[in-house]
Every structure is written in C-alpha cells, then in structure tokens.
Amino acid sequence: MLRGTTVPANWAIVDAVFVTLCDMAGLEPGARLTYKDVQRPIYRHVEDAWHQALDHPDWYWKPEPPQPPLKPAKDPWEDEPPF
C-alpha cells in the first residue's frame, strides 16, 4: 500500500495507516493543508486521493521496473589469483 502497488478496498485500513503516520510525524489528521490551491483537513485530501485511486486505478503513479544495465559491471575479483 505504501509503495503504491495496491489500494486497500476498505477505508478503515487506510485510515488506520494514515492516523498512525500522522502520529509518527507529529501532525493532527484534522490540521488544514493547502494542496493545489484547495485548503481543507489533511484527512480529506487523503480520502479523496484514496477514492481517486479506487475509481481510476490507472490514474495514480505506477513505478517502472528497473532496466538492466547497458553493459555488465566489471567483476572486481577478476584479477585476483584463485585461492
């Protein structure tokens, strides 16, 4: 969930994680936040983002898998004699 690979279908799970992270950060979940020129409680921003992710699963960012290096890395032990 925190890596953006799954979206919980149950708000209670999201709310529990949100409240815990707010507590760890020393923030009040009801504190007001301005995001994209809209000021409202932090929990409302999070809830709207959760609804957006559920309603439009292709909307949110999905990480790209890592690409293999263009050329293999040099073996740091290739010049060492065998033991």
pLDDT tens for each residue of 24-42: 999 899 999 888 888 999 9
Residue 3 maps to a domain: no
Residue 62 maps to a domain: no
pTM for the whole structure: 0.61
Distance CA 8, CA 18 (A): 12
Among 51, 47, 42, 57, smallest CA distance to 4 is for 57
Q: What's the total number of domains in the chain?
A: 1
Task: State how far the alpha carbon of 67 is from the alpha carbons of 13, 70, 71, 75, in Å.
Answer: 33, 9, 12, 20
Residue 19 maps to a domain: yes
Residue 70 maps to a domain: no
Which residues form the domain of 48?
11-55
Residue 83 pLDDT grade (very low, low, confident, very high; cuts 50, 70, 90): low
Q: Which residues contact 3 (CB under 8 A, 6 or more apart)?
A: 63
Whose tokens are 């033991």? That residue is: 83
Residue 41 maps to a domain: yes
Mean pLDDT of 11-32: 93
